[in-house]
Amino acid sequence: MKEKIYTIPVNEAFDHPGECGFCVLWRKLEKEILDYVTGPAYMEEDVRGEMDKAGFCPHHYRKMFASGNRLGLALMLQTRLRYLNSNAKEKHTDSCYACNRMNGRMESYISTFCYLWKTEEEFRAKVLSGQGFCQVHFQELMEKGRKYLMKKPYRSMMETLEPFHREHMERVEEDLDWFVRKFDYRFKDEPWKNSKDAVERSIQKVSGVELLEGGN
């Protein structure tokens, strides 16, 4: 496969053995952006102004707090509070600088996925040897993939990926069913099979949220 700089992150993400390559990209991207906004971003006045205006969603405030960089977070909050107090009559509660940045980058990853799917047989084989997608990112691929592929290649991709996605959603459902069944005394001596982490993997499949260390 001929690598280009912009294809490397997507290629590497789908080498990952977890439940969704796009979740791998999302997790890495989120860490990069949150590390940036509580660190180097404070040296860039224009970026700092964007953060002051947009703020962050509750999820990303929790993530930044949990990272332990109290000083970086305090500096960001300091100017955010100043902005809010200077613009008290405006509405500032429904935006997130990190989400905006991540959504833009994720769309570029979907574009790259479509390009690789169309042009690289090795990449198609890699995807189809994996564990499928979470429902959130598969839905995004279905919706946004239309922008990056002509009608016939898009239809061909979906004819392959829709049953593939359904197969792996059903695989996790079966694992979860067995996990629940193991709490019935009649099955207590049966092996766990692949169900011990079925709850965590089910959460990822339906929501895109990874709970397992390293994303499965």
pLDDT tens string 17-51 = 899 999 999 999 999 999 999 888 878 889 999 99
Please say whether the dihedral angle defined by the alpha carbons of residues 174, 216, 197 and 30, taken in this order, is positive or negative: negative
- Say if residue 88's pLDDT is above 90: no
The structure tokens listed for 43 are 């040296």
Show the CA angle centred on residue 215, arms to residues 116 and 10, nearest 5°.
15
pLDDT (average), residues 155-160: 98
Residues 23, 208: contact at Cβ < 8 Å?
A: yes
The DSSP-derived string for 95-163 is: --HHHHHHHHHHHHHHHHHHHHHHH-HHHHHHHHTS----HHHHHHHHHHHHHHS-HHHHHHHHHHHHH
Given a cut of 60, is residue 214 above it in pLDDT? Answer: no
189 has a pLDDT exceeding 90: yes
With beta carbons less than 8 A apart as the criterion, state whether 133 and 113 touch: no
Q: What local confidence, expressed as pLDDT, does residue 143 receive?
A: 96
pTM confidence score = 0.88
135-148 and 97-119 are packed helices; what angle lies between their axes, rounded to 10 degrees? Answer: 70
pLDDT reported for residue 216: 44
Buried b (16+ CB within 10 A) or exposed e, 109-125: bbbbbbbbbbebeebbe
Hey, CA dihedral for 204, 209, 212, 213, is it positive or negative?
positive
Ranges of each domain in the chain: 5-207
Residue 198 has pLDDT above 70, yes or no: yes
pLDDT at 144: 95
Query: Using an 8 Å Cβ cutoff, are 56 and 64 in contact?
Result: yes
SS3 content of the chain, % helix, strand, coil (to 5): 70, 0, 30
Matching residue, tokens 């990853």: 109
C-alpha closest to that of 72 among 83, 87, 61: 61
Closest to 105 in 3D by CA, of 37, 211, 47, 32: 32
Tokens of 192: 């766990």
Average pLDDT, the chain: 92
